[in-house]
């Protein structure tokens, strides 16, 4: 996996020199993903049992590919080594939580940040402050301890939390961007922006319908 690819053996030389170290680091990132996923699954189950509500629609996770790791380090002018990956990248381990309702996004973020063993590093709130193109999502950088045989390692994970509607837009926009060889025209950019605005309104409306139904149920 480390050798070959578009970057060839020379680009990977520094990582290859420390093949064992790289494998150990990858295993740590994989373990961090598992820990976060487990916490989220337990939370979802607790909500289902206590409140008859599943905040999470589904969870996706991925380990950044070696190609993407090398590209990002090079783009940012960092050296290519395992230490450099650990010190300079926060998104090698990535977890995406797709929620049913907008309020669930905040609940999930609070729940993760409040866990005793989780260290909060930073957040990018593209829901309160959407990107100009319309992208909405809440990004958290967290660190979680991984307990090994002889040591405990703090491992960074990027958690992206968003609703189904936000995810629908982000997935299609991402695919469209890569489908087109040239940047999207002004007209298409604005149409995509408009879609994002409409989806944000839909999220608000669905949240409100859910709230009204919940209140009616409580009264009965």
Q: Does 71 bind ligand GTP (CB under 6 A)?
A: no
Among Mg ion, ligand GTP, none, residue 139 binds (CB under 5-8 Å by kind): ligand GTP
Could you say which of 29, 47, 101, 135 contacts ligand GTP (CB under 6 A)? 135
Contact 3, 12 (CB under 8 A): yes
Catalytic annotation on 35?
A: no
Q: In what order do the strands lie in the sheet with 119-125?
A: 56-63, 93-99, 152-163, 138-147, 119-125
Smallest gap from Cβ 119 to ligand GTP, in A, equals 18
Q: How far apart are CA 28 and CA 35, in angstroms?
A: 10
Q: Does 125 bind Mg ion (CB under 5 A)?
A: no
Q: Does 167 bind ligand GTP (CB under 6 A)?
A: no
Question: Which of 75-105 are b and which e, b meaning 16 or more Cβ less than 10 Å from the residue's Cβ?
Answer: eeeeebbbebbbeebbbbbbbbbbbbbbebb
Residues contacting residue 211 through CB under 8 Å, at least 6 positions apart: none
Q: Does 174 bind ligand GTP (CB under 6 A)?
A: yes
Catalytic, out of 46, 106, 158, 216: 158
Q: Does 133 bind ligand GTP (CB under 6 A)?
A: yes
Q: Which residues pair with 152 in a beta bridge?
A: 147
Could you say which of 139, 142, 156, 163 contacts ligand GTP (CB under 6 A)? 139
Helix (H, G, I), strand (E, B), or coil: what is residue 17?
Answer: helix
Among Mg ion, ligand GTP, none, residue 174 binds (CB under 5-8 Å by kind): ligand GTP
Note the residues at the interface with Mg ion (CB under 5 A). Answer: 91
Active site residues: 158
Note the residues at the interface with ligand GTP (CB under 6 A). Answer: 91, 124, 131, 133, 135, 139, 170, 173-174
């Amino acid at each position: 996996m480390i050798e070959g690819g578009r970057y060839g053996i020379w680009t990977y030389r520094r990582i290859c020199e420390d093949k064992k170290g790289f494998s150990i680091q990858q295993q740590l990132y994989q373990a961090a993903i598992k820990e976060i996923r487990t916490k989220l699954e337990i939370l979802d189950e607790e909500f289902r049992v206590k409140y008859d509500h599943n905040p999470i629609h589904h969870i996706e996770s991925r380990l950044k590919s070696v190609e993407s790791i090398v590209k990002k380090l090079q783009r940012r002018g960092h050296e290519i080594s395992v230490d450099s990956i650990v010190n300079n990248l926060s998104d090698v381990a990535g977890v995406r939580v797709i929620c049913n309702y907008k309020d669930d996004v905040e609940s999930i973020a609070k729940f993760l940040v409040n866990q005793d063993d989780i260290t909060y590093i930073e957040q990018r709130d593209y829901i309160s402050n959407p990107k100009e193109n319309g992208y909405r999502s809440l990004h958290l950088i967290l660190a979680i301890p991984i307990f090994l045989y002889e040591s405990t390692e703090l491992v960074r994970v990027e958690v992206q939390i968003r609703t189904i509607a936000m995810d629908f837009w982000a997935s299609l926009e991402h695919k469209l961007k890569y489908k087109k060889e040239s940047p999207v025209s002004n007209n298409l950019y604005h149409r995509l922006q408009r879609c994002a605005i409409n989806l944000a309104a839909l999220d608000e409306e669905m949240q409100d319908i859910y709230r009204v139904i919940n209140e009616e149920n409580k009264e009965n």
